[in-house]
Structures are given as structure tokens and as C-alpha cells.
Amino acid sequence: MAKHQTMTDRIKKRSLKDYLNTFGVLLSLLLLCVILTIVSPQFLTVGNLMNVAGQAAVNSIISIGMFLAILTSGIDLSVGSVLALSTMFMGLFAKTFNMNPYLALLSCLLIGTLLGLINGLLLTKLHLPHPFISTMGTKQMARGLCLVVTATQPVYGFKAPIVFLGNASLGPVPVSFILVGILYGIMYLFLNRTNTGRYIYAVGGNKEAARLSGINVDGILNLVYAMSGFMAALAGIVLVGRVDTAYPLAGVDYETDAIAAVIIGGASFFGGVGKIGNTIVGVLLMAVLRNGLNLLGVTSAWQTFTIGAVIIIAVFIDVLRQGVGKK
């Protein structure tokens, strides 16, 4: 009887923890929206909200790949540079070589996926000790190549198919945000309804146990980082559509916002924990925070400071949530 009661108590505690992880961030987002509505009359307008949605689209897509990496107890610091390099090649192909715009878009996605796969192979084949090292290296290399591809010059004036995802709207709603909804729906099904999705969680929970149970851990890691590269390239396409320009310094520090969104959304740096649906809430919280700071006239320097503080707080909460340091 006592044993049964203990198990029941554990289930209740776990359910409360899940409840807080799911709705705590959502309540924080709603509270932030209420505060900004009070202090800034411009916040709760259709135009501003759609602007937030459009701005959030790029980070939303990047954060899918970052979520997968963090879910495997890894990280991908190269996403901003992968975004820039893949779009610079797209610009080169589309403008300099006059490639068919649809083929240029495909080349962008393929290059991003290849760069992500290289991150995975550095981890699984060269056995670098942590993805922090491999992705930091590819981040610097990709950023350097961005400056070489078009001799540091931006590329602009793209044809309609290339700018469609970032520029078009369906009524007041940006097509890019509709794309985000589709991607998150697909990723939810992938992670929760397929064996591969379950294997990703298993690898993040315990790589050695996953390997002993017959899971191809190296294959899963390669897939995760390839998907992260694909998402970075797709986010780059959306960004190019918004500004009609591919430029070498695109995506600088984008990994920071993505990491913050994923951790705020309840994923754990320790791996194996997190829900893709919570990640989009984390993205929206970051986007609303940035938008609110802009509306209040906060300088970019203090915005950067605030985002850094948010990341530290989010990671600290993750440490508390995982009980690290408890004896």
C-alpha cells in the first residue's frame, strides 16, 4: 500500500512539473503582452502583431533545428553562419549564374543540409568531445566563406519565387508564419508518432543506453544536425524574402535567440526533455520582448543586455528543474 502511494505521489509530482513546463511559459507570454498593452498603445494593433509574427518566423524555424540539437544534449552554434552561407550561395547562383529561381532555392536547402551534416560527422566520425567545439569551428569557417563567396558584397533584387516565403501574406497573416505552423505540426508528428522521433529523445536521455538497445546513435546525431542545417537554410530563405537581400553578415547571433527560445520553452541542456510546442511559445516570448523593447525606445545595447539576462535566467531555471547539484 505504501509503495503504491509512493508511486501515485511521483505521478502527481511529475504531472505538476509537466503542467508548469507547459503553461508557465505561456502564462509568462500572456503577462508580458498585458504589460506591453498597458505601457504601449501601439503594441496591441493588427499591424504590430503581424509584424511580430513575421519577425518571429526566422527564429521559429531556426529554433526547430536548435531544439533537436539540444534534445540530444548537444548544441548548434553554427546556425547563423549556415543561414548566411547558404543564402549567399543562393544569391550567387540566382544572380551571377542566372540559375532558375526554384533550383537556386533547392541549392540553398541542400547546402544548409550538407553543412549541418558536416557538423554531425565531425561529432560522430572525428569524435570531437562536444558539439560546442565542432559547431563553433564550422560557425567561424562558414562566416569566413560568406565574405569570400561574393567578395563581401550583398546580393539583392531577387525574382518573385525566392522572396515569396518572406514577403507574401495571406490577408494580414504573413505566409512565413503559416509556414511556421506547418513545420511545427510536422515536427510534432515526427517526434511523437515515429520511431526516429522517439530515438532522438532516447539518445538525448542516455546515449550509451540507447546504443545498447540497438539504436544507431551516430545516425541519429547525423540526422539531427543535418535537419538543423536544413532549417537554418530555410530560415535564410525567409529572411532573404523579407529584405530582398542576401548579405554576408546575415544571421549574426541568431543562435543566441534560438537557444534562449528553446530553453525558455522548457527543453533541457541535459537532453531528452522538451516539447516542440513549447518552443514556439519561447520564440514568441522572445519576439514580443524584442518588439516591446523597440516600442519603448530601449537602445540596442540594453536590448542585447536584456536578452543575455533572459538566457542566464532560463538556464538557471533549467538547472533547478533538473535538480542538478542535489545530493
Mean per-residue pLDDT of the chain: 89
CB 235 within 8 A of CB 61: yes
Q: Helices marked H in 125-267 — which ranges?
A: 131-149, 160-167, 175-193, 195-205, 207-212, 217-243, 254-264
The answer to whether 302 touches 231, Cβ cutoff 8 Å, is no
Whole-Å CA distances, 231 to 8, 59, 105, 119: 41, 10, 13, 14
Tell me the pLDDT tens digit for each residue of 260-283. 899 888 888 889 989 999 999 999
Report the distance separating Cα 60 and Cα 58, nearest Å. 5
Cα angle 189, 174, 249; round to 5: 90
pLDDT band at 19; cut points 50, 70, 90: low
C-alpha R_g of the chain? 20
CA–CA gap between residue 237 and residue 94 (Å, rounded): 13
- Place 181 in a pLDDT band, splitting at 50, 70 and 90: very high
pLDDT band at 4 (very low <50, low <70, confident <90, very high): very low
Whole-number Å distance between alpha carbons of 117 and 119: 5
Is 2 exposed, middle or buried (CB count within 10 Å of its CB: 0-12, 13-18, 19+)? exposed
Strand partners, 156: 245
Q: Is the full-model pTM beyond 0.85?
A: yes
- Distance, C-alpha 257 to centroid of its chain: 8
Predicted confidence (pLDDT) at residue 59 exceeds the cutoff of 70:
yes
3-state secondary structure of 282: helix
Q: How many CB atoms lie within 10 A of CB 309?
A: 10
Query: What is the SS3 assignment for 263?
Result: helix
Q: What is the pLDDT of residue 311?
A: 78
Reduce the DSSP state of residue 50 to 3 states and report it.
helix
pLDDT computed for residue 117 by the predictor: 97
**In this structure, are residues 174 and 260 in contact, taking their beta carbons and an 8 Å threshold?**
no
Residue 22: per-residue pLDDT: 60
Question: Which strand (E) or helix (H) includes residue 169?
Answer: strand 169-170
Which comes out higher in pLDDT, residue 152 or 183? Answer: 183
pLDDT at position 327: 42
* pLDDT higher than 80, residue 216: yes
Question: Residues 157-178: what's their mean pLDDT?
Answer: 93
Average pLDDT over residues 44-51: 89
Q: Where are the domains of the chain?
A: 47-313
Contact (CB, 8 A) for 261 and 106: no
For residue 84, is pLDDT > 50? yes
What lies within 8 Å, CB to CB, of 84 at 6+ separation is 142, 143, 146, 236, 247, 248, 249, 250, 251, 252
Q: How high is the pLDDT of residue 3? A: 46
Average pLDDT over residues 204-226: 96
Closest alpha carbon to 161 in 211, 90, 231: 90
Which of residues 13 and 26 earns the better pLDDT score?
26
HSE on the CB side for 315, CA within 13 Å? 11
Q: Which pLDDT score is estimated for 307?
A: 80
Closest of 291, 265, 286, 281 to residue 37, by C-alpha: 291
pLDDT at 195 over 70: yes
pLDDT at site 17: 57
CA 302 from centre of chain: 23
- Tens-digit pLDDT profile for residues 164-173: 999 999 988 8
Residue 16 pLDDT class (50, 70, 90 cuts): low
Question: Which CATH number applies to 47-313: 1.10.150, 1.10.3470, 3.30.1330, 3.10.20?
Answer: 1.10.3470
Q: Which amino acid is at 89?
A: F
Portion of the chain with pLDDT greater than 70, in percent? 91
Give the residue carrying C-alpha cell 539518445: 203
pLDDT at residue 13 greater than cutoff 80: no
Cell of 184: 511545427
